[in-house]
Amino acid sequence: MVVGDDGKGGAMAAESYNSVSKWFHWVTVGLMAVALPLGFLIKYIKDSDKMPFYAIHESAGLTIFLVAIARLAWRWTHPPPPLPDSVPLAMRRAAAANHWLLYAAMIVQPTLGFIATNAQGFPLRGETAYLGFIDFPKFMEANKALADPVQAAHTVVGISIAVLLAIHIAAAIYHQAIRRDGTLLRMV
């Protein structure tokens, strides 16, 4: 349990997430802190220097995918604690929508990236092997007609993730600094 201020000067308790859920959350935060900025910056790196950055970006992205699947499986068997009663229904629904959109994006985004890199002729092998040493089988030949629209979708989802994360972080700060309802402290 974490204790917060109900905004009226009274204390209220909010149930914390379990330690495994917290671990999944903070591992995801770390991976996103690597994958997202790199995804936006790679196009500005000189072509001859890009491969190590792609390798890091792709490994972080695939790990996000794997962690998201494990996280959803854990969540299925270990539902999150309810939000404090003081959180209005509209905020509850907005939080749920944001969370589920982030989960969907953590699965869709790496999938699009994996397809795009393969269609561009750069499967996770050699210089861009997963985690630097795990070669994935090549499942398709280079296909520019497929690579371009999938890469465009990957970019759009990347921007969407940045927006969803900004909303998520802003909401956490709002709950901690303004509402003081203990919502943020449930995940620390």
- Residue-range domains of the chain with CATH: 2-187 (1.20.950.20)
Would you write out the chain's pLDDT as a tens digit for each of its 188 residues?
A: 444 444 444 444 568 999 999 999 999 999 999 999 999 999 999 999 999 999 999 999 999 999 999 999 999 999 999 988 889 999 999 999 999 999 999 999 999 999 999 999 988 899 889 999 999 988 899 999 999 999 999 999 999 999 999 999 999 999 999 999 888 899 99
H or E element at residue 43: none
Other beta carbons within 10 angstroms of residue 112's beta carbon come to: 22
Helical axes 19-41 vs 144-174, angle rounded to 10° = 130
DSSP states of 124-145 as a string?
S-GGG-BTTTBPPPP-S---HH
CB 144 within 8 A of CB 119: yes
- In this prediction the pTM is 0.89
Bridge partner residues of 2 (DSSP): 14
